[in-house]
Structure 1
Amino acid sequence: MPKAQETVLEIDLKALHHNFKYLKSKLQPNTKFLAVVKAFAYGSDAYEVANYLQKLGVDYFAVAYINEGVELRKSGITKPILVLHPLAVNFKKLIEFALEPSLYNAKILNEFISIASAEKQINYPVHIKFNTGLNRLGFWENDVDYVVSKVKATKTINVKSLFSHLAASEDLNERDFTLKQINNFKIIAEHFKTKIGYMPILHMSNTSGVLNYPEAHFDMIRSGIGLYGFGNSEKESTYLKPISSLKTVISQIHKIEKGESVGYNRAYKSDGSFTKTATLPLGHADGIGRHYGNGKGFVTIHGQKAPIIGNVCMDMIMVDVTNIDCKEGDEVIVFGEHSTAENLAETANTLSYELITSISQRVKRVFLKEDT
């Protein structure tokens, strides 16, 4: 593939296909696959990723907020889209674009029934979320009777699915807690079925749930980070391929003499030894936060690590290339297949999730198709 000539985020759709097939291989043939494409498809490109997965046969999509779903509909995505954290102010827009809300407490349930009724909806598909231990959003187990009574009292909505969210499925030290969550969800689902007279689609597993808890696959799974190449464990990550590579170029090389400093606030000062730095055209406005500066983070140039020195600027970073044979215009790998986003994130004590979802949309996206 051609070398980068500017700051670009390469999205490898072949790697996305690989990850989808690997995760699908963990499921029973009839288990549905919901692809999570919130946060601009984890910082890549929501439409391109969703469009590609739609062609591969994914069953469902999920986004966090209504406007994310609206943008997918405007871009031609036709598969069902679950909105995980809808707010009532946008419910009319949700209905206009045939999005499906997660309803997670009495207030949001009643508000949606009211607005959907005013919009003359019949059997509008909704998803009821139950809290089994994450303690973020969701009805409680003892709310089943209330939810069923509200659903039965109207023809406006139809419960398409019941779901919950595992809190620590990647941490096998929390296995007992996770199994308790799974068992609680089963109890909730059976109670709901008995009261309402039918069983909606059940889903609970995130990527780590797919990999570690087959008993929690139920009727559908939800995968986000796994599709983008990370398995939340060193072992599982070896079977997945990061789909994104952030690349840039060397804009200028400086020779730093004794007593000189580099960057804002003179955060790096020469200790007297000769230092050679390279300035790169990306910074915290592009998603490389200040916490990667001052020797914590690094980039790769000609296969060698170049530590970030000084403070990260809004549009630039400086790296130490004293021992690297390089020149202005040479390609730089910020993260990719070999030196991954996970590797870089670890240097700042954060997660690959935070790094990849932070990549600014001003960074040019380049798509590597299947035949590339």
Structure 2
Amino acid sequence: MPKANETILEIDLKALTHNYEFLKSKLQPQTKFLAVVKAFSYGNDSVPIAKHLEKLGADYFAVAYTGEGTELRDAGITKPILVLHPQKVNLATIINRCLEPSIYSKKTLLEFIEVAQKQQQTAYPIHLKFNTGLNRLGFDLQDVPFILETLSKTNTVKVASCFSHLAASEDLSEADFTKGQITLFKTITETFIPKLGYQPILHQCNTSGILNYPEAHFNMVRSGIGLYGFGNDKKYEHNFIPIASLKTVISQIHTLQPGDSLGYNRGLITKKIMKTATLPIGHADGLTRIYGKGKGFVYINDIKAPIVGNVCMDMVMVDVTHINCEEGDEVIVFDRTYTAEALAEAAGTISYELITDLSKRIKRTFLQ
């Protein structure tokens, strides 16, 4: 791979293919695959990621908000797109752009039916979200009679899927809770579907659910973080390849004397002679202030260089006293060897937060 000469995010589409095929290998051939590409495809770039996954055979896509789905439609994505958290103001746009809303409450069901009726829709696909313990969004079991009564009065919408979300599928110490969620989802759907009169898609498993709870694959699964190379479990680390490598370069090297200060708010006061390197990446790029003062690190010539002082908006300084390096040398913030997961854990957060924080101003390059 060519050396970086600026801050870039390299995205390896072969690694994406590998992760998709590994996850698919855990499924029955008839089980559908929904690829979660919300949040700019977890900080990568949703359009080229979705285009690649569509070519690989992904059956569905999911985004968080309507604008994300519109962007995919504008780019030519044709597969169904589930909008996980639609807002009332965007319901007409959802229909106009052939997106499919998650309906999670009595209010959202009535609102969407009203909008769909105004647009003279028939059997417009909706997805019913049921709450089985995450307690974030979703209908409860006792809402089933209301849903059935409401649907019986209109032919405007048709249920494309019923789904729920596992709260702790990566944590096997919470297996009893997760199995309880699965049982409740089965109870809800077994109560609802016979009275609905037709069979919608059922899905509950996220990436860790795919790996740990095959009995809950139903007829579709959803994966986000796994596609991007993280299995949420040491046991599966070797099965996934992180698709993104965040690289930058050394802009300048300074030699500090004992008692010198470094950066904003004098975030470091040196106790001995120290050599530091300034890098063109900062909290405006997604490398937030939590990584400052030694919590975070980068790699230069395969040697760890701790972040020192406070992270600046556009720059960060690292300790290179122990590293033979020069201005212009490549710096690895994370890649498949020095993972985003390890960097995030060092600062007390998770890989999801680190990678989805990456600014769009960082140049993306795609490796085929």
What range describes the TM-score normalised by the shorter chain of this pair? over 0.9
CA deviations over 1:157-196 (Å, ceiling 9, x no partner): 0000000000110000010111111011111111111211
Instruction: Give the structure 2 partner of residue 155 of structure 1.
Output: 155
Q: CA deviation at 1:292?
A: 0.2
Instruction: Give the structure 2 partner of residue 342 of structure 1.
Output: 341
Would you say the 8 A contact 1:280–1:318 is kept in 2? yes
C-alpha separation in 1, matches of 2:221 and 2:36: 10
C-alpha separation in 2, matches of 1:238 and 1:150: 48
Would you say the 8 A contact 1:63–1:81 is kept in 2? yes
Would you say the 8 A contact 1:253–1:328 is kept in 2? yes
Q: CA deviation at 1:19?
A: 0.1
Q: Does 1:23 align with 2:23?
A: yes
Gaps of 5+ in 2: none
| Partner secondary structure for residue 61 of structure 1 | strand
Instruction: Give the structure 2 partner of residue 326 of structure 1.
Output: 325
Q: Does 1:60 align with 2:79?
A: no
Q: CA deviation at 1:129?
A: 0.5
**Percent of aligned positions with the same letter in both sequences?**
64
Instruction: Give the structure 1 partner of residue 255 of structure 2.
Output: 255
**AA matched with 1:92:** A
C-alpha separation in 1, matches of 2:223 and 2:268: 42
**AA matched with 2:233:** S
- TM-score, L = length of structure 2: 0.99
Q: CA deviation at 1:100?
A: 0.1
Q: CA deviation at 1:302?
A: 0.4
| Partner secondary structure for residue 308 of structure 1 | strand
Number of residue pairs matched by the alignment? 368
Instruction: Give the structure 2 partner of residue 356 of structure 1.
Output: 355
C-alpha separation in 2, matches of 1:159 and 1:204: 16
Would you say the 8 A contact 1:288–1:355 is kept in 2? yes
Instruction: Give the structure 2 partner of residue 35 of structure 1.
Output: 35
- TM-score, L = length of structure 1: 0.98
C-alpha separation in 1, matches of 2:142 and 2:31: 28
C-alpha separation in 2, matches of 1:259 and 1:163: 59
| Partner secondary structure for residue 158 of structure 1 | strand
**AA matched with 2:227:** L
Instruction: Give the structure 1 partner of residue 364 of structure 2.
Output: 365
Would you say the 8 A contact 1:189–1:199 is kept in 2? no
Q: CA deviation at 1:120?
A: 0.6
Q: Does 1:284 align with 2:273?
A: no
Q: CA deviation at 1:142?
A: 1.1
C-alpha separation in 2, matches of 1:152 and 1:100: 20
C-alpha separation in 1, matches of 2:306 and 2:115: 54
C-alpha separation in 2, matches of 1:368 and 1:242: 13
| Partner secondary structure for residue 239 of structure 2 | coil
Instruction: Give the structure 2 partner of residue 188 of structure 1.
Output: 188
CA deviations over 1:280-313 (Å, ceiling 9, x no partner): 0000000000010001100000000000000000
Q: How is 1:115-194 mapped onto 2 (pairs within 5 angstroms)?
A: 115-194=115-194
C-alpha separation in 2, matches of 1:59 and 1:151: 26
C-alpha separation in 2, matches of 1:162 and 1:184: 13
Q: Does 1:199 align with 2:199?
A: yes
Instruction: Give the structure 2 partner of residue 313 of structure 1.
Output: 312
| Partner secondary structure for residue 162 of structure 2 | strand
Q: Does 1:9 align with 2:9?
A: yes
Give the RMSD, CA atoms, in angstroms. Answer: 0.5
Instruction: Give the structure 2 partner of residue 47 of structure 1.
Output: 47
C-alpha separation in 2, matches of 1:235 and 1:264: 41
**AA matched with 2:40:** F
| Partner secondary structure for residue 114 of structure 2 | helix
Instruction: Give the structure 2 partner of residue 224 of structure 1.
Output: 224
C-alpha separation in 2, matches of 1:219 and 1:194: 17
Would you say the 8 A contact 1:145–1:195 is kept in 2? no
**AA matched with 2:330:** E
C-alpha separation in 2, matches of 1:189 and 1:333: 48
Instruction: Give the structure 2 partner of residue 87 of structure 1.
Output: 87
